[in-house]
Structure 1
Amino acid sequence: MIERQHVRRYRVQVQQLDREHGTIADTAVLDLGVQDTGPDGALWALEARGVDTAGLGAAAEHHGDLVWLWTLRGAPHCYRRADAAQVAAAVAPWSESDASKRIFDASKPLKDADIPVLDALDAVAGQMRTIVKEPMVKGELSTRLHEVMPEPYQRYCRSCQAVHLYEMPFRLSAVQAGLELVPDTSPPVLQPMPEFTVADAYEDRLDPVRAYLHLLGPATHKQVAEYVDAPVREVKAHWPEDAVEVQVDGETRWMLEADVPALQDASASGTRLLGPYDLYLQARDRSTLVADPAKVKALWPVLGRPGAVLLDGEIACLWRPRKSGKKFTVAVEPWRDLEAPERKTIEAEAEKLAAFRGVPLTGLDFS
């Protein structure tokens, strides 16, 4: 029987949130991908794991060590550039039914036109490869695709007041076309990866099911399926042979057999300001991280997510950045009484965040 606190401590350790120094090569979360949403996205997540990210953003060389791709759930994720070809293979839909689920309502007009979804994704990727030969803004690529793709691939967009490709086929096809996202661009800019070909196979560590169980386990089939955005039966069909059952507060879950000793012996220390989409907060068992339903709603609202302050393996506060002109403050909402030393460690992390953003910290507001 494993208690939830053991799960939280294990995830802190395996995700390396308790280390002070690390490299891109040895940062485990890059195997599953680090979601890059908001100003405190992928690079801040790496900073929280001890990686010095200076020069790894938009100013980095084209052949830098990191690459940004649209992958799982159509979200932008950061990976090691050396893994890009294998990542493209690892995140591709496993079957026709899987592909249909991942593109949501875009699957219906394709099916009505007797176009297999997998074939449709290949067709979109092929056109993208033909069109994008140099950095191109997403809107321009969308316009070019609208000109060459038939009607079942397209829809009328009310917000744009235009007809263009469904969003998920567009995003999921980009990596298969060998297109990377230029970091820190809005609207997104895509460019071809040099000499890119999707790999025929991929290392076990890059398998999304296996990586989820390692980094966010113990987990159920449903939790993994929700993260990958695939049907549960597909996830079960790709379940690792070395996954074993464990009981977490009476619920049957699975994790990799080699990770069980680390789960049983896990401990956690230190303070981190986690961005709203940090992998630690992406687990699909939110009640494991936060037991109080009201606090769950506060940490994961539908819009405008805050960040979380991790104190010795427990989420102790919410935080939000406040920037006005040259002033940058961090507003902290404690969920319990904080000792003076704990406040000092939070202030130190806020200083790191300000330095990461390239601005001085002008205040820390505990409200």
Structure 2
Amino acid sequence: MIDSRQVLRYRTRVQQLDRERGSLADTAVLDLGVQETGPDGAMWALAVRGLEPDEADLVWLWTLRGAPHAYRRSDMAAVAAAVAPWSDADAAKRIFDASKPLKAAGIPILEALDSVAAEMRATVKAPMVKGEVSARLHETLPEAYQRFCRSCDAVHLYEMPFRLAAVRAGLELQAHTSPPVLAPVAGFEAASEFPDRLDPVRAYLHLCGPATVKEVAEYLDSPVKEVKAHWPEDAVEIEVAGERRWILAADEAELRGADAEPVRLVGPYDLLLQSRDRKLLVDDAAKAKALWPVLGRPGAVLAGGRVAGLWRPRKSGKRFAVRLEPWGKLTAAERRGVEEQAERLAAFRGVDLAGVETED
């Protein structure tokens, strides 16, 4: 029987959290996209996997779940094809309540995304702040595409069609901009096909497997029926802690033999924490609530093949420290590992580390 700890060892291994050095080409998480959320976002997720890429070799796109993700720039055309909704039903699920007025107006959802993309392409000829793009599209698109936003006290486009249409329009997000700045990619055209490694269902099963169909559907914001229709033929059933799950056949031996147990400070939105089986990763409800709160997520301490606690950055002026909340006693080696990773994080942020502070 495969248990949760063995699953975490496997994911640590295939997500390459146990390596010290890597290259852009062989960094597997870039196939599914590396989420860019918070100061320790995509670039820290890559750094903790031993990669310090030239940002010019990366492209930031709104893709799965409408979240910003980093990919290899060379993959952009194929990524656009890989993350595109499979059908109108899939697209409707991905844009949530924005689908209702479009359906009421008799506008197919995929056609609507193409219409938004066309307007974006015609509008964004140079880097442009998101708010300005939205204002321009408000003037050109009909009522079915728009809603009244209470927080803005204004009418503008629904958020998810706006985000999901951007990559169809060949627009990238300028890295680390807030508010987001969109820019056109010269000569962009979505590919007609894409390699297996960029298939989001296969990539999820490889990087976050073993998994259920429902978990993959939740990660993609797609209907379960659609994911079943695109389920890989080489996915094999396996039992994990008494539950039926699936993994790619080529990964089964790796799962059973994985022994990766590095010490890492994993960012709040790292792929390791993005799988939809949180109870498998952290089976204590109070600990899970602390790791995945509604607001203000901490990072996770990975040690001994388990999630061993929480960490948060503490910055005051020029002073930078890491606040540690261990879930149990760390070994001396694990404590040294945490301190080494804290030094690594401080260097990544370009500051000196004042120390690692442990909560009582």
**Residue matched to 1:17:** 17
**Residue matched to 1:90:** 82
1:1-367 to structure 2, matched below 5 A, reads: 1-53=1-53, 55-56=54-55, 64-367=56-359
SS of aligned partner of 1:337:
coil
Q: Deviations over 1:121-176 (max 9, x none)?
A: 00000000011111000011001000100000001111111110000000000000
In structure 2, how many angstroms separate the alpha carbons of the residues matched to 1:4 and 1:315? Answer: 11
Query: What stretches of structure 1 of length at least 5 have no aligned partner?
Result: 57-63
In structure 1, how many angstroms separate the alpha carbons of the residues matched to 2:225 and 2:164? Answer: 21
Q: Deviations over 1:237-291 (max 9, x none)?
A: 0000100100111111111000000011010122110000000000100111111
Q: Deviations over 1:170-207 (max 9, x none)?
A: 00000000000001100000001121101001111100
Which structure 1 residue ranges, 4+ long, deviate > 3 Å from structure 2? none
In structure 1, how many angstroms separate the alpha carbons of the residues matched to 2:259 and 2:330? Answer: 20
In structure 2, how many angstroms separate the alpha carbons of the residues matched to 1:283 and 1:217? Answer: 9
1:363 CA displacement: 2.1
In structure 1, how many angstroms separate the alpha carbons of the residues matched to 2:92 and 2:283? Answer: 34
Normalising by structure 2, what TM-score? 0.98
Q: Which amino acid aligns with 2:27?
A: T
1:6 CA displacement: 1.3
Normalising by structure 1, what TM-score? 0.97
Q: Which amino acid aligns with 2:120?
A: M
| CA RMSD between the two structures | 0.8
Q: Percent identity?
A: 69
Q: Deviations over 1:290-317 (max 9, x none)?
A: 1111111110111111000101321111
SS of aligned partner of 2:148:
strand
In structure 1, how many angstroms separate the alpha carbons of the residues matched to 2:197 and 2:330? Answer: 38
Q: Which amino acid aligns with 1:201?
A: E
SS of aligned partner of 1:49:
coil
SS of aligned partner of 1:184:
coil
In structure 1, how many angstroms separate the alpha carbons of the residues matched to 2:188 and 2:52? Answer: 27
In structure 2, how many angstroms separate the alpha carbons of the residues matched to 1:3 and 1:276? Answer: 24
1:107 CA displacement: 0.5
1:341 CA displacement: 2.5
1:3 CA displacement: 1.5
SS of aligned partner of 1:342:
helix
In structure 2, how many angstroms separate the alpha carbons of the residues matched to 1:266 and 1:345? Answer: 20
In structure 2, how many angstroms separate the alpha carbons of the residues matched to 1:25 and 1:79? Answer: 11
In structure 2, how many angstroms separate the alpha carbons of the residues matched to 1:341 and 1:205? Answer: 36
1:340 CA displacement: 2.6
In structure 2, how many angstroms separate the alpha carbons of the residues matched to 1:33 and 1:116? Answer: 28
SS of aligned partner of 1:362:
strand
Q: Deviations over 1:100-132 (max 9, x none)?
A: 010001000111111111110000000000111
In structure 2, how many angstroms separate the alpha carbons of the residues matched to 1:295 and 1:269? Answer: 20
In structure 1, how many angstroms separate the alpha carbons of the residues matched to 2:63 and 2:137? Answer: 20
